[in-house]
Chains A and B, each alone.
Chain A
Amino acid sequence: MAEAMSQNRKVGFSLARHSTGIIASVLFLAPIVWTVLSTFKPAQEARQPPLPPWPTTGFSIENYQTLNSFGDGLWVSAQNSIYVSVMTVLLSVLVSVLAGYGFSRFRFPLRDFFFVLILSTIMIPFQSILTPIFLVLTKLGLHNTLTGLVCVYVTLQLPFSIFMMRNAFDAVPREIEEAARMDGANNVTMLIKVMLPLVWPGVVTIALFAFLGAWNEFLAALVLMTDQSKFTLPVMMTALQSGRFGAIDWGAVQAGVTVMMVPCLILFLALQRFYIRGLMAGAVK
């Protein structure tokens, strides 16, 4: 009797837990799913409220096709976003791996000073130094260039990614290095052939954060990219949503938002383990 009661309670608890989980999941996923489904409506239907969210008057990719007809076209902005994000990933990985290795394995003058200097930039909001960044880029001839934007994004990534990489290198036992040195490996071959495979998870983590950071950043891109042909996706889509190209085409806005969201969602789902790892590292420090 008592056993049956506790069995019932268990089932009840599990039922309550899963209904809570499912309802909450639906609430969190609904806006994303709603948007993605709505993009496949014909333009005419996309102007109406999305009730129901799925296309009722036939499946269409019209909304994606019209995206290219605004200003310089969405494809240009997409290319800009891809270029900026990929370059940010490559450069921040390169710079952080080198710096992480340097901070972890060498004792040179001012080492601690430089490390604290880089980490402490996280305390200062970049929003407050955007004007001088604008002037510095102008001085360097990088004004209104995607390369200039990449430099800014890489710098913003450095405190997190150098912290990650130094910890990753610290975790590699010294014996491995000494053995390799006995075999005649110099610093560079050691870093590439011996160390890199061991700190690989850290590299994936910082690459993922660099990509998401650059792909989604809005304010710096809005301020620093004044020429429409240099707009990244968030800036371009905001211009479209503000009615800069005539009446607001909500179908196109939804399609643009989908283009912006999908790479982030796919990367996260594929590399979730590394993402959570990065969050943990940030949280534990």
Chain B
Amino acid sequence: MTAITATSAPARLRIGVSRRQWVGLLYVLPAVALVTVFFVIPLGMTAWMSLHNWPLMGEHAFIGLDNYFAILRDTRFWNALKFTFYYTVIVTIAIFAVAFPLAIFIEKPRPLTNLYRTAFFMPAVVGFASASLLWSWLLNVDSGLFSPAAYDLGLTERKVNLLATFQPAFWSIIAMVVWKVAGFTMIILMTGLQSIPQDLQEAAVIDGAGPFARFRAITLPLMRRTLALALILSVAGSILAFDQFYIILRGGPRNQTLTAVYWIFNQSFVSFKLGYGAALSMVLLVILVALSLIQLWLLRKPEGLD
């Protein structure tokens, strides 16, 4: 105490200032506490549990890397992962094929553009669970819309159950996800399009560049960061897909549409193999973190520019 009073005036001021700065810690404390308890600790526990045989009831036993060796032999997990990647590639292409033209369509402020933009975006604010429930009805063979409508129009000889075989079931999910997500991707792509300086496009027009040449030489390169962001959001979201496959297909037909998260859910919360589920989660986690690192690399600012 005396030491503080004995210090010269500027030093005392500095201590006062730094003490006032410490208050900041109090402001961020609730957030740090929540993230620690509900994120950092569970994350560490996942790694720890993955080294254990951990049933819901009873003692858990340390088994080293045995869970990971079991994963190597778990063909159903690899099938789920393979299906997840297949779904991710197809749905991402489909989303971009719809969202990019829409983004170009609504980019410039013209009459009614705002109205169209809102309409395209509406399904994006509906939850995945609601959208899945809605489409599970539309896709239902007896009470739904698509099969009976196709039958009534004479397109099919009988009512076809779209969810009974893999191909129609898979493409139905793709259609539903594109309907739900395209508006979201569209808005992100639109921000990229709008950030391209108008005079650049005009200069290219004067130089005689056609629309395709302009798109390739100006639009695409200048949208690199936005494209990368939209791409990563779509890829990450699709790898973690669960709701639509659980609600509409229950993983069927014949377990062909089990995704990675679905398989982890089954192992952890249906079979209650918590340790094994944790090891599977670690695999998923590594894939997603690798994806995030690729994202950071793709989104880096071009060198020499800021």
The answer to the question of B65 belonging to the interface, with a C-beta cut-off of 8 Å to chain A, is: no
**Pairwise interchain contact A118-B32, C-beta atoms closer than 8 A:** yes
B contact residues around A275 at 8 Å (CB): 125
**Pairwise interchain contact B37-A136, C-beta atoms closer than 8 A:** yes
| A268: contacting residue among B122, B246, B261, CB under 8 A | B122
The answer to the question of B226 belonging to the interface, with a C-beta cut-off of 8 Å to chain A, is: yes
| B122: contacting residue among A99, A103, A114, A265, CB under 8 A | A265
B contact residues around A216 at 8 Å (CB): 126-130
**Pairwise interchain contact B288-A123, C-beta atoms closer than 8 A:** yes
**Pairwise interchain contact B145-A51, C-beta atoms closer than 8 A:** yes
**Pairwise interchain contact A234-B21, C-beta atoms closer than 8 A:** no
A-B contacts, CB under 8 A, total: 264
**Pairwise interchain contact A127-B261, C-beta atoms closer than 8 A:** yes
The answer to the question of A196 belonging to the interface, with a C-beta cut-off of 8 Å to chain B, is: no
Nearest-CB residue, chain A, relative to B30: A95
Q: How far is the CB of B265 from chain A (nearest CB, A)?
A: 7
| B268: contacting residue among A32, A114, A131, A140, CB under 8 A | A131
Instruction: Tell me, in angstroms, the Cα distance from A105 to B25 when the chains sit together.
Output: 11
Q: How far is the CB of A9 from chain B (nearest CB, A)?
A: 15
Instruction: Tell me, in angstroms, the Cα distance from A131 to B44 when the chains sit together.
Output: 12
- Known contacts A250-B143, A260-B127; is A31 also within 8 Å of B179 by CB? yes
The answer to the question of B187 belonging to the interface, with a C-beta cut-off of 8 Å to chain A, is: yes
- Known contacts A102-B28, A123-B288, A129-B281; is A49 also within 8 Å of B191 by CB? no
Q: How far is the CB of A122 from chain B (nearest CB, A)?
A: 8
Q: Which of A21-29, A64-72, A197-205 contacts B (4 or more CB under 8 A)?
A: A21-29
The answer to the question of B62 belonging to the interface, with a C-beta cut-off of 8 Å to chain A, is: no
Among A129, A279, A284, residue most surrounded by chain B Cβ atoms (within 10 Å): A129
**Pairwise interchain contact A25-B127, C-beta atoms closer than 8 A:** no
The answer to the question of B61 belonging to the interface, with a C-beta cut-off of 8 Å to chain A, is: no
**Pairwise interchain contact A31-B123, C-beta atoms closer than 8 A:** yes
Nearest-CB residue, chain B, relative to A117: B35
The answer to the question of B202 belonging to the interface, with a C-beta cut-off of 8 Å to chain A, is: no
The answer to the question of B162 belonging to the interface, with a C-beta cut-off of 8 Å to chain A, is: no
**Pairwise interchain contact A127-B240, C-beta atoms closer than 8 A:** yes
**Pairwise interchain contact A136-B119, C-beta atoms closer than 8 A:** no
Instruction: Tell me, in angstroms, the Cα distance from A284 to B226 when the chains sit together.
Output: 8
**Pairwise interchain contact A128-B138, C-beta atoms closer than 8 A:** no
The answer to the question of A241 belonging to the interface, with a C-beta cut-off of 8 Å to chain B, is: yes
The answer to the question of B289 belonging to the interface, with a C-beta cut-off of 8 Å to chain A, is: yes
Instruction: Tell me, in angstroms, the Cα distance from A174 to B53 when the chains sit together.
Output: 56
**Pairwise interchain contact A31-B110, C-beta atoms closer than 8 A:** no
Q: Is the interface of B mostly helix, strand, loop or mixed?
A: helix
**Pairwise interchain contact A128-B282, C-beta atoms closer than 8 A:** yes
| A223: contacting residue among B30, B102, B269, CB under 8 A | B269
The answer to the question of A238 belonging to the interface, with a C-beta cut-off of 8 Å to chain B, is: yes
Among B21, B40, B126, residue most surrounded by chain A Cβ atoms (within 10 Å): B126
A contact residues around B265 at 8 Å (CB): 219, 223
Q: How far is the CB of B112 from chain A (nearest CB, A)?
A: 7
The answer to the question of A125 belonging to the interface, with a C-beta cut-off of 8 Å to chain B, is: yes
Q: How far is the CB of B229 from chain A (nearest CB, A)?
A: 6
Chain B 117-147 interface 0/1 with A at a Cβ cutoff of 8 Å (1 = within): 0111111011111100111111010111100
| B116: contacting residue among A24, A35, A47, A111, CB under 8 A | A24
**Pairwise interchain contact B118-A132, C-beta atoms closer than 8 A:** no
Instruction: Tell me, in angstroms, the Cα distance from A269 to B178 when the chains sit together.
Output: 21
Instruction: Tell me, in angstroms, the Cα distance from A50 to B182 when the chains sit together.
Output: 25
A contact residues around B116 at 8 Å (CB): 21, 24-25
**Pairwise interchain contact B129-A131, C-beta atoms closer than 8 A:** no
Chain A 89-103 interface 0/1 with B at a Cβ cutoff of 8 Å (1 = within): 000001110110111
- Known contacts A237-B129, A283-B226; is A132 also within 8 Å of B49 by CB? yes
B contact residues around A130 at 8 Å (CB): 268
| B126: contacting residue among A95, A106, A126, A264, CB under 8 A | A264
**Pairwise interchain contact A127-B284, C-beta atoms closer than 8 A:** yes
**Pairwise interchain contact A234-B137, C-beta atoms closer than 8 A:** no
The answer to the question of B34 belonging to the interface, with a C-beta cut-off of 8 Å to chain A, is: yes
On B, residues with C-beta under 8 Å from A are 20-28, 30-32, 34-35, 37-43, 45-46, 49, 102, 105, 110, 112, 115-116, 118-123, 125-130, 133-138, 140, 142-145, 148-149, 152, 179, 182-184, 187-188, 191-192, 226, 229, 236, 240, 242-243, 246-247, 250, 261, 264-265, 268-269, 274, 277-278, 281-282, 284-285, 288-289, 292
Contacts A47-B143, A48-B143, A121-B35 given; 17 further ones with Cβ under 8 A? A17-B110, A20-B105, A21-B105, A27-B179, A28-B179, A49-B144, A49-B149, A98-B27, A102-B28, A114-B28, A127-B264, A133-B42, A136-B37, A155-B38, A187-B23, A215-B127, A264-B127
Q: Give the 5 A-B residue pairs with the shortest CB-CB distance, closest first.
A: A106-B24, A216-B127, A102-B27, A49-B148, A132-B42
